[in-house]
């Protein structure tokens, strides 16, 4: 709280006068939850947490902060996993009061929502209008659309529907100087100049503050079938994926990978969960086919492909979840996998992607490299196999000191990210860069690309007041990127 | 040829020394075809046409032009419709020698191609590898991938597969100063910083020179059914579209609109073409359903929806093209519509989009407005109805002087674009801005968006040497935007 002393005090008074005392919070107890992030890896500080009610108030906050030279750190549900919402001085701009669904246009198959809408609320509103809004991720009950946009969120439906970028047609953004760009168009085609929308999506609040968006809606799936297969290796799983993609096309809506270790810890920690196949296998995949057609015969399609793969030994065993209850039980195994890792001690996490053609090789090579590096480490590589996106997490050896284990984070990251990099992959598939990967990005990103990013940052935020220190490292006294653990 | 006199001569010599005499053309007969565009609406001038063979030579050309302060105008197949490739001084950078397919990765379902590849070549190579590259447009036999990328090309498959932006995973770009950005990743998910790819796609050569791209491939459709329907109005056609989208989802791969006038002129000018329905109707739609599943029963699906719509009077008549030959005959009506307009005298053209929910209203309102403005004008509103994208073309009244008619271009554009703008639409859906709509863009675009575009242009091309005078109006002595007609 050392910086911006008297300037800060004057700014707070100005903001209170416009937003109301109740919406400019400074008491420690009021702002405490906004200074940390989900995993407790970082703890920041802030002059205040401001809670504007609409885009005009957001614009006012930005104007005043720009005048005062005070940083602005936007927050939605504060569920991010890369420290992108942690403030290091300045003002936290909470967007939770901008939570209106402004419009649903069923014929255009779009909805216009404000940044503070909870993802689940948006999914439900789409459902009530007879449509599907497909973005689906673990924190959907508390994350907000603005955060989904700022991080170009992914999740389990990307294989079929794309990530947040692909689900967005238009944006409304407040710029660093407080001007409002109204790009809320619901057009499928628009070639009138540079693609501003995609510049802000995924920029993690460092180029502008997204206040609303026009989202795409899709026909609801009326038929669905789920399967759980066991394979001898990720290589076999990849061959099965390829055949399903060719046969089912866009009816293939999920192909999620899990290792035997993942199944083991779900069974151990989740009461009521049941091993889906009789025997243990090296690799598992949760497969879903769906269609808007009520009478689509997805089950025969899936059985045909899996039957053939079984004959050839690519699939060792399989079970079909044809009822909704069976389907949910199978999905449950996948969905609980994130949380149960916490119960196995320290976990060093990586959110990486490689070309789909190399995803099996990546799992294989990276697993062996980590096991050699630290005998006893338990690799939990799982996730969106069909997108080439693996959550490559490493549970600590049984009995090791947790803090000591977590102090190896940087060393393991180098090993895993080097392998990813060699495979022309990405060190952040869906979580973003934020703080935790800012310096890793400098290490791995093409220098020309980094320089372009800096040019864009300077062009759109010349004062460096939008979420400074995140994504691109500009200026001095940057907050430390690697989490303080132990 | 007045500008860059001695500088120009020295530059040409430098380029010849590196690229070879044969690839730096200056004779009028050699460069003439590069100074005009498809419709003959503009004629420019250039110091030379250079034909580098690879990205390193492109980089060299950019470095030298940047040093000399000489503009660079990139060209692919030079098939653009907005004057975006017409040079006004400087050097034309022809990318046709960069025509290698660098890689096809069947498991990743991607191909890496150079900017100079002809679209048809790319489609064919994808086909031989067992995949579909879906971009499809009238000039596919001569347009080049670089131009498709630079203009974010659309066409008839956007409804199902998206436009060029959606079909692209990675890019290689030479920047204004000659540095090369290698962003050729074939990743489905990559959240490592700002979205540079989409900044260059659709920027019409004004921010960088695209030299290669990683493109998405799709499973080939193995089942396909086509229908041609007649409706009493575009409003009824819209209701049919909505039902098909809900029932068939992504199996609905085309919904192309044609008016009775369009059918009339195709029948008149294309020998062998046959009226597909017994009676005349106000509005027609060409519908296609397709699926990668060999045994998908698309015909019953389509018949069910159309049968119900017929019962309710939304469809007045329909014919199904179940054989490949019938299907091709129906597509032929749509595909010939662009060329036959030329045979009906002067045509004032607009490439616009509105939200799909307003596409019928747009056709209705804009048609009436133009008919009131000039009795006898013949409205040919057709195209990608399911994307909300209409080619709103106006054939001259019979017997009117062509030049006199075309001199009304600006007046009609104002009428049509005002209606589009009021409906929150786009004055350029798929052709781009180039020269022809540069000043219209200033008239209609949100001033904040325009200002952002200028900031980006300054950041990436501070010397304003990349395709100057196109898309954004920077500097003085700009070439005139409206075509000189008559």
- Domain-located, residue B467: no
CA nearest to B181, candidates B97, B74, B55, B19: B55
The pLDDT of residue B481: 79
Same domain, A141 and A163: yes
Question: pLDDT per residue over B380-392, tens digit each?
Answer: 999 999 999 999 9
Predicted local confidence at residue A40, as pLDDT: 83
| A 130-169 residues with CB < 8 A to B | 151-152, 154, 158-159, 163, 165-166
Mean predicted confidence (pLDDT) in B451-474: 96
Non-local (6+) Cβ contacts of A211 within 8 A are A55, A58, A95, A98, A114, A115, A146, A172, A173, A174, A180
pLDDT, mean of residues A352-381: 98
Q: What is the pLDDT of residue A4?
A: 62
In a mutagenesis test of the B interface, which of A189, A200, A421 is the best target, namely the one with the most B β-carbons within 10 Å? Answer: A189
Element (H, E) at B353: strand B351-353
Q: In this structure, are A268 and A290 located in the same domain?
A: yes
Say which DSSP state A352 is in: E
Residue B325 neighbours by CB under 8 Å, 6+ apart:
none
Task: Tell me what the mean pLDDT of segment B457-480 comes to.
Answer: 91
State whether residue B292 sits within 8 Å of chain A by CB.
yes
- Asked if residue B294 has pLDDT above 90, the reply is no
CB-facing half-sphere around the CA of B292: CA atoms within 13 A:
20
What tens digit of pLDDT does each residue of B303-338 get? 999 999 999 999 999 999 978 899 999 999 999 998
A312 contacts: CB under 8 Å, gap ≥ 6: none
> Within a domain: residue A364?
yes
**Mean pLDDT of the residues in chain B:** 95
* Distance in angstroms (rounded) separating the CA atoms of residues A196 and A274: 48
Residues A180 and A194 placed together within one structural domain of the fold: yes
Residue of chain A minimizing CA distance to B444 = A192
DSSP SS3 for B319:
strand
CATH of residue A174's domain is 3.30.465.10
Residue B483: its pLDDT value, please? 66
The answer to whether residues A307 and A359 belong to one domain is no
The pLDDT-based confidence of A477 (bands split at 50, 70, 90) is confident
**Domain identity same for B203 and B269:** no
Cβ of residue B474 closer than 8 Å to a chain A Cβ: no
Percent of all residues in chain A with a pLDDT value above 70, rounded to a whole number:
98
Residue B296 has a pLDDT of 85
Do B215 and B227 have their domain in common?
Answer: no
Q: Are residues B429 and B398 in the same domain?
A: yes
Q: How many C-beta atoms lie closer than 10 Å to residue B303's C-beta?
A: 16
Chain B interface test: which of A148, A188, A202 (most B C-beta within 10 Å): A188
For residues B185-211, give the mean pLDDT. Answer: 98
Q: Which residues pair with A168 in a beta bridge?
A: A215
Percent over 90 (pLDDT), chain A: 91
| Domain enclosing residue B27, as ranges | 5-94
User: Vertex A134, ends A128 and A138: CA angle to 5°?
Assistant: 105
List of residues 6+ apart from B210 with CB closer than 8 A: B115, B146, B149, B150, B171, B172, B173, B200, B201
What pLDDT was estimated at residue B440? Answer: 93
Kindly provide the residue ranges of all beta strands, DSSP E only, lying in A12-137, ordered along the sequence: 24-25, 48-50, 72-75, 91-94, 101-105, 110-114, 131-132
Prediction ipTM score: 0.96
**Percent over 70 (pLDDT), chain B:** 98
B:22-51 residues touching chain A, CB 8 A cutoff: none
Q: Are residues A231 and A310 in the same domain?
A: yes
Mean pLDDT, range B72-78, rounded to an integer: 97
Which residues of B are less than 8 Å from A431 in CB distance?
191
Among B188, B203, B250, whose Cβ lies nearest the Cβ of A194? B203
Backbone angles phi, psi at A360, to 5 degrees: -70, -45
Does residue A467 form part of some domain?
Answer: no
For a pLDDT cut of 90, what percent of chain B falls above it?
Answer: 91
> Which CATH number do you get for residue B426?
3.30.70.2740
Q: Which residue of A has its CA nearest to B239?
A: A107
Judge whether A34 and A78 are in contact, CB under 8 Å.
yes
pLDDT in tens, B146-184: 999 999 999 989 999 999 999 999 999 999 999 999 999
Query: Are both B265 and B312 inside the same structural domain?
Result: yes
Would residue A159 count as lying in a domain?
yes
Whether A78 contacts A55, CB under 8 Å: no
Q: What's the rounded mean pLDDT across residues B352-374?
A: 98
> In this model, does residue A1 exceed pLDDT 50?
no
Q: What is the pLDDT of residue B36?
A: 94
Range of lowest pLDDT (A238-242, B4-8, B255-259): B4-8
Condensed to tens digits (0 to 9), the pLDDT of residues A135-166 reads 999 899 999 999 999 999 999 899 999 999 99
Supply the pTM of this predicted model: 0.96
pLDDT reported for residue B484: 58
Same domain, B200 and B234: no
Neighboring chain A residues of B107 at a CB cutoff of 8 Å: 238, 242, 356-357
Tokens 């004055």 belong to residue:
B427
pLDDT at A2 (0 to 100) = 43
Supply the CATH number for residue B55's domain.
3.30.43.10
In a domain, residue A464? The reply is: no
Q: Is the pLDDT of residue A3 over 80?
A: no
Query: Which of A162, A195, A219 is the last residue in one of the domains?
Result: A219
> What pLDDT is recorded for position A484?
58
Residue range B84-110, pLDDT digits in tens = 999 999 999 999 999 999 999 999 999
When comparing pLDDT for B485 and A81, which is higher? A81
Q: Is residue B18 part of a domain?
A: yes
Q: How far apart are CA B211 and CA B192, in angstroms?
A: 22
Over 80: is that where the pLDDT of A126 sits? yes
- Domain's final residue, options A184, A219, A254: A219
Domain holding A288: CATH number? 3.30.70.2190
Which stretch of DSSP H or E encloses residue B447?
helix B447-460
pLDDT at A474: 84
Provide the CB-side half-sphere exposure for A166 (13 A, CA).
26
Query: What mean pLDDT, rounded, does chain A reach?
Result: 95
Residue B26 lies in a domain: yes
A46–chain B nearest CA distance, Å: 25
Q: Give yes or no: residues A378 and A320 share one domain.
A: no
Banded pLDDT at B4 (limits 50, 70, 90): low
> Does residue A207 belong to the interface with chain B, where contact is any CB pair within 8 Å?
yes
pLDDT tens readout for residues A64-122: 999 999 999 999 999 999 999 999 999 999 999 999 999 999 999 999 999 999 999 99
Domain end residue (candidates: A305, A331, A357) = A331
Q: What is the pLDDT of residue A41?
A: 85
Pair B212, B110 in one domain: yes
The mean per-residue pLDDT over the stretch A299-319 comes to 97
Q: Looking at residue A454, what is its pLDDT?
A: 98
Query: Kind of pairing, strands B378-384 and B351-353?
Result: unpaired
Q: Hey, which residues 248-267 in chain A have their CB within 8 Å of chain B?
A: 248-251
pLDDT band, very low/low/confident/very high, at B38 (cuts 50, 70, 90)? confident
DSSP of A289-315: EEES-TT--HHHHHHHHHHHHHHTTS-
pLDDT (tens digit, 9 = 90+) per residue, A235-282? Answer: 999 999 999 999 999 899 999 999 999 999 999 999 999 999 999 999
Q: Is residue B481 part of a domain?
A: no
B433 contacts on A by Cβ (under 8 Å)? 191-193
Strand pairing report for A218-219 and A378-384? unpaired
Q: Please tell me the predicted confidence (pLDDT) of residue B3.
A: 53
Asked whether the beta carbons of residue B449 and residue A357 sit closer than 8 angstroms, the reply is no
- Look at residues B152, B185, B239, B222 and name the one whose alpha carbon lies nearest to residue B428: B152
Asked whether B98 and B55 are in contact (CB, 8 A), the reply is yes
Number of domains in chain A: 4
Contact between A152 and A202 (Cβ < 8 Å): yes
Residues of A in contact with B354 (CB under 8 A): 187
């Amino acid at each position: 709280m050392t910086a911006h002393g008297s300037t800060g005090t004057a700014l707070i008074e100005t903001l209170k006068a416009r937003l109301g005392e109740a919406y400019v919070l400074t008491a420690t107890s009021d702002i405490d939850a906004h200074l940390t992030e989900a995993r407790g890896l970082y703890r920041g500080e802030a002059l205040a947490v401001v809670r504007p009610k609409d885009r005009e108030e957001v614009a006012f906050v930005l104007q005043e902060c720009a005048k005062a030279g005070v940083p602005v750190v936007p927050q939605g549900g504060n569920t991010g996993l890369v420290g992108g919402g942690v403030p290091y001085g300045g003002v936290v701009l909470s967007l939770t009061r901008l939570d209106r669904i402004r419009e649903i246009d069923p014929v255009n198959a779009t909805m216009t929502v404000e940044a503070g809408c909870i993802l689940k609320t948006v999914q439900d509103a789409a459902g009530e209008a007879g449509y599907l809004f497909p973005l689906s991720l673990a924190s959907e009950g508390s994350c907000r659309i603005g955060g989904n946009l700022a991080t170009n969120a992914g999740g389990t439906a990307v294989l079929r529907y794309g990530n947040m970028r692909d689900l967005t047609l238009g944006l409304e953004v407040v710029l660093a100087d407080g001007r409002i760009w109204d790009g809320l168009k619901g057009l499928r085609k628009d070639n009138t100049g540079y693609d501003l929308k995609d510049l802000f999506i995924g920029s993690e609040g460092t180029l502008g503050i997204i206040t609303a968006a026009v989202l795409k809606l899709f026909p609801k799936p009326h038929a669905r079938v789920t399967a759980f297969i066991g394979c001898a290796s990720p290589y076999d799983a990849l061959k099965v994926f390829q055949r399903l993609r060719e046969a089912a096309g866009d009816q293939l809506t999920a192909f999620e990978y899990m290792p035997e270790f993942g199944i083991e810890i779900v069974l151990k920690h989740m009461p009521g969960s049941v091993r889906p196949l009789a025997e243990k296998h090296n690799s598992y995949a949760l497969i879903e086919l769906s269609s808007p057609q009520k009478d689509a015969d997805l089950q025969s399609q899936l059985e045909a492909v899996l039957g053939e793969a079984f004959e050839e030994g690519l699939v060792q065993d399989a079970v079909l979840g044809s009822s909704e209850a069976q389907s949910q039980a199978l999905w449950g195994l996948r969905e609980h996998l994130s949380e149960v890792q916490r119960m196995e001690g320290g976990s060093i996490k990586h959110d990486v992607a490689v070309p789909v053609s190399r995803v099996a090789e990546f799992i294989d090579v990276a697993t062996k490299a980590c096991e050699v590096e630290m005998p006893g480490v338990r690799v939990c590589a799982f996730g969106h196999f069909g997108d080439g996106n693996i959550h490559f997490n490493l549970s600590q050896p049984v009995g090791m000191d947790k803090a000591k284990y977590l102090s190896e984070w940087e060393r393991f990251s180098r090993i895993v990210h080097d392998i990813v990099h060699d495979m022309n992959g990405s060190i952040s598939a869906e979580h973003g860069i934020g703080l935790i990967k800012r310096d890793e990005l400098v290490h791995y990103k093409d220098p020309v690309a980094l320089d372009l990013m800096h040019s864009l940052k300077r062009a759109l935020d010349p004062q460096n007041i939008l979420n400074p220190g995140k994504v691109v490292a500009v200026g001095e006294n940057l907050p430390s990127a690697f989490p303080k653990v132990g």
